[in-house]
Structure 1
């Protein structure tokens, strides 16, 4: 199996960026949901 280390490092960086973006989105959607819940209930 051919293993390209540079490619792997780039994939890890890309995954980390996507993970951070997802965390930010989850945080913002969580905030929005909390605001909606506090507004309705």
Structure 2
């Protein structure tokens, strides 16, 4: 199986961000907070 890179579509961004959050929270990776700070104790902010 070869490696293939595809351009993400705008409709896929919400799902990609959700997967990114999940991958950095389990196990917790504090470096993510440098790029995506949590405001008002709500990651949807």
Scaled to the shorter chain, the TM-score interval is: 0.3 to 0.5
TM-score normalized with structure 1 length: 0.40
TM-score normalized with structure 2 length: 0.38
- Structure showing the higher helix proportion among its residues: 1
Structure showing greater radius of gyration is 1
